[in-house]
Amino acid sequence: MKFFEKIANIDSRIIYLLLFIVVLIPVAFKLVLPVRVSEPVQAAYDSIEKLPEGSVILFSVDYDASSAPEIQPMLLATLRHAFSKKHKVLLLGQWALGLPFGEIGLNEIAPQFDAKYGMDYVNLGYRPGYRAQMVGMGREIRDFFASDYKGTPVDSIPLMQGIHNYNDIDLLVGLEAGQAGDEWIQFAGARYGLNIIIGATGVIAPDMFHYLQAKQIKGLMGGLQGAAEYETLVKHSGTGIAGMVAQSYAHLLLLGFILIGNVGYFVIRRRKQA
Amino acid sequence: MKKLFMVLTLACLMSPARALEPPADVKAVDTPNDEGSSITVSWGRSPQDQGDATVFKGYQVLRAENANGPFAEVGFVICGKSDFRDNVESHKNYYYQVRAIAFSDSSQAIAAGPATATAQWFDSSRGNVLILTIIICFLIIWYIERAKKGEELFIRKIQGLDAIDEAVGRSTELGKPIMFSFGLGEIKDIVTVAALAILRQVAVRCAQHGTELLVPNWDPLVMAAAQETVQQAYSEPGRPDLYKEGNVSFLTSDQFGYAAGVDGMMLRQKPGAVFFMGYFYAEALLMSETGHSIGAIQIAGTTAITQLPFFIASCDYTLIGEEMLAASCYLKRDPQLLGSLKGEDFIKAFLIIGFALMAVWGTAGYILNNAGNPWMMDIFQAVKNWFITG
Amino acid sequence: MKKEIPLAITFITGLIIIVTFFIPHQPLGTMQQRLLLWYSIVLGFTMLLGMDSLLRSNIRKIAKRSPGWPFALVLIIGFLGTLIVGIYTWATSESLLSLGSSFMYVYTYFIIPLQATMFSLLAFFIASAAYRAFRARTMEATLLLITAAIVMLGRVPIGAEIWDKFPLIQDWIMEVPQMAAKRGIVIGVALGTIAMSLRVILGLERTYLT
């Protein structure tokens, strides 16, 4: 009886320890599993793939350090895809402390495709008050971003010539860890008809499915799995694919615990009834 | 055979290259439903524009204030697109030209205009929203008026709200403080306003029992509102002396910094009851699991759907979505407030019936449409399209 | 008058926001945007209010040697240290967040690991909460348990290795029953929000007024 009571009430610390070990081993030994691409991620990929060369893609970095492990691989994979297709990249961020991740991403990917700052990509930076900004950019980007993140006037940047509002942007890639994704869809998508794909944390992603079903967004990458699927599509393995084995084992462990807990629960209940 | 080949080659070499065909049917019109700041230029795509950017670049849009020019470029639209919205001054005539551009060639420019940007007084694309807003507001106000006349209104039990007294009572018995968190809600979020009503109730009970109330905040504006709410609630049972301003304080505006701060307070001060009321993100479970680990009775309420499963798993009671928004009506039992709930219920019943009817109609329409009879499907599509905001 | 004036302001502002949603003509068309900007400006100033509260309550803790006062000391040191580095970077670098600046050092070696650690704790807490919550006590709980197991297996590559139908069933669960339940709650929340907003605008709901 005691044994079953124990397995029905395992100390949380044991669960934490085993979970830590299960996550650590695949990461340390770089184990890999094949990744199946789901429809929402394929749709996100196709949205960039089908754009004609030279299209303008706006990346919105709306996350910070806490959710970067999940979303940064999405940024890297989508940037890789955009630059490989010779699209033009504009990047801005709605989270002040997340913007460095955008800059890190651009610095990592752009040189691999000989993309030049000011010609092929621009980092517009962060401005406070994102709702007003999202609405106002439908009229003129310069009203909010008169200069890029270094303070260079936008009018002196060659890429920005002729880019004034959402008319001049072909796709928005919203990388979201909070509410900004809903706001992009509501203001830039519904009001100005901007095409949007979303990459969101595993917690936020289920909230995005109804936008996907209503065709208010063109594609969706959810959590580390979404990042891994996009990495598979662009044929470049990154931390998304690397994290999949750890996530797989963690899910299995959790299922194991749930099963054990239920066995203990049932045995105790049956004995009590008897 | 050789001769034929040579003739064909010569014919190909001698015939002029097929000239780039211009866009057809260029139109410039005032952009509808705007503040009079733009003109929309549209055109039919050039036959050579197959959406392939390696062959066909796009369209150059030029603008002039006179029909004879001079025309200056105002925009370039990539291939595959057939419209452009130009920001202009209102009440001024503008003329446009659109030219197709390929890599080695450009077409003749096709002119359009004059067009003038004017502001509209009503956004016709939002007519559907206006009609629904009027209907919903009318029904809610109607039921509020009926309630004012003294009609008896029933409200079901909401366990999470009934448990407030139990939670405060238990904490008092154990001599432990009570903690209240608004999560990451801002003061403009309606759920935060609803949470303030619950905070008021909790604070009144705390003042009655002489129990300490801790309210760590993520948003300074919410903190200011919470300070005033708690201060006033403490004076209701005549215990303003118990109010300590430092107990309703600001922690940080960083999500996980806030979670760490709240967790730290929980582990150090071991509250007997914890209330999570407002809008939450990923910090929800970090805080509620810590609360569970110290054995606190926990009551949560949020409209953040993704966080509801976490609260349900780790809290004793959870107010789901609209229950949270009905809290002030439930706690006050004011007939006018309850009337608005009745109106809400009526609209919900109407929507449920509407959804069910449309589902049946749509399914039948789909079947009939496949059999070659599209009338039901057409009506279904018309209703669906009406609901899509422009 | 102490209550009437705020109620009148609430009523007029609420009405303006509703009306301007349908009127694009100036000056009403950009009214909502302008009010949002005002809100951002007010919010910026209230951060001073927050800082005042934070510093005062923690300095009080240190002065009184309240339980856990060393934590308050760490907070004050962290606050002032970050502020000084921020001001120094602002004065000497082209951007506060340029890679290689002093503030980025604080960001990279303090803020990133701290935030990432807090977020990663979620995995552990989800594990313990799921273990506790997923008990097949009733028929409904059993259904929830089975659904959760399928979704958990379908979301990761090993699920497809075990049975290739797991991801497909998972997709269906996420897109159909999950969405249906969520939409039901969303519609309820939306109606509740409209009713609550109306109560606030009409002055029936006054709990936010003190």
Per-residue pLDDT tens over the stretch C108-131: 899 888 988 988 898 899 999 899
What is the rounded (10 degree) CA torsion for B187, A172, C108, C104? -90
pLDDT above 90 as % of chain B: 45
Contact A66 B256 (CB under 8 A): yes
Does B85 touch chain A if contact means CB atoms closer than 8 Å?
Answer: yes
Residues of C in contact with B314 (CB under 8 A): 129, 132-133
CB contact under 8 A, B306 and A170: no
pLDDT in tens, A56-107: 999 999 998 888 989 999 999 999 999 999 999 999 999 888 888 999 999 9
CATH assignment of A39-236, given 3.20.20, 3.40.50, 3.30.2450, 3.40.1620?
3.40.50
Which tokens belong to A179? Answer: 């509410």
**B19-116 has CATH 3.40.50.150 classification:** no
Q: What share of chain C is helix, strand, coil (3-state, %, to 5)?
A: 80, 0, 20
Rounded Cα gap, residues C75 and B257, in angstroms: 11
Q: Where are the alpha helices (DSSP H) in chain A?
A: 2-8, 12-29, 39-49, 68-84, 99-109, 130-136, 180-183, 192, 209-213, 223-233, 239-273
* Prediction pTM value: 0.85
**C40 within domain boundaries:** yes
Among B43-52, B187-196, B285-294, whose mean pLDDT is lowest? B43-52
In a domain, C27, yes or no: yes
In chain C, the number of structural domains is 2
Chain A contact probe: residue of B48, B74, B78 with most A CBs at under 10 A: B78
d(C-alpha B48, C-alpha C1), whole Å = 71
| Nearest-Cα residue of chain A relative to residue C99 | A100
Given C54, C76, C98, the domain boundary residue is C54
Residues of chain C contacting A266 with CB distance shorter than 8 Å: 136
- CB contact (8 A) between residue C171 and residue A38: yes
ipTM (interface predicted TM): 0.88
Q: How confident is the model at residue A190 (pLDDT cuts 50, 70, 90)?
A: confident
Distance of residue B388 Cα from the nearest chain A Cα, in angstroms: 10
Q: Is the dihedral of CA B90, B91, B97, B98 positive or negative?
A: positive
Final residue before a domain boundary, out of C90, C107, C133: C133
> Which residues of chain B neighbour A190 with C-beta distances below 8 Å?
389
Q: What per-residue confidence (pLDDT) applies to B11?
A: 46
Torsion sign (Cα): C170, C173, C174, C176: positive
Question: Helix count (H) and strand count (E) of chain B?
Answer: 12, 13
B305: nearest CB among A97, A140, A207: A207
In a domain, C90, yes or no: yes
Whether residue C165 is contained in a domain is answered as no
Q: Measure the CA–CA gap between A2 and A6, rounded to whole angstroms.
A: 6
pLDDT value of residue A215: 87
Distance from CA of A166 to the nearest CA of B (A): 10
**Ordered alpha helix ranges (H), chain B:** 2-14, 127-148, 159-174, 190-209, 220-235, 255-269, 283-293, 308-314, 322-325, 327-332, 335-370, 375-387
- Based on the fold, state whether residues C38 and C79 are members of the same structural domain: no
Q: How many CB pairs under 8 A join A and C?
A: 153
Q: Would you call C158 an interface residue with chain A, using a CB distance cutoff of 8 Å?
A: yes
Sequence-ordered list of residues with C-beta below 8 angstroms from that of B43, at least 6 positions apart, any chain: B23, B24, B25, B26, B27, B59, B82, B83, B98, B110
B52 pLDDT tier (thresholds 50, 70, 90): low
pLDDT at position C100 = 79
- Under 8 Å CB-to-CB from B190, ≥6 apart: which residues? B325, C193, C196, C197, C200
Torsion region of B91: left, alpha or beta (phi above 0 gives left; psi -120 to 50 gives alpha) = left
Q: Is C115 on the interface with B (CB under 8 A)?
A: yes
Q: Are residues C77 and C40 part of one domain?
A: no
- Which uninterrupted H or E stretch holds C91? helix C69-92
Q: Are A164 and B81 in contact (CB under 8 A)?
A: no
Tell whether C6 and C45 lie within a shared domain: yes
Partner residue opposite C47 with nearest CB, options B196, B220, B322: B220
Residue-wise over B149-168: b if at least 16 C-beta within 10 A, else e? eeeebeeeebebbebbeebb
Residue C36 belongs to domain spanning: 1-54
**Which residues are within 8 A (CB) of A42 and not within 5 positions of it... i.e. 6 or more apart?**
A219, A229, A233
Both structure tokens of A180 = 């900004």
Under CATH, what is the fold of the domain B159-332?
Answer: Rossmann fold (3.40.50)
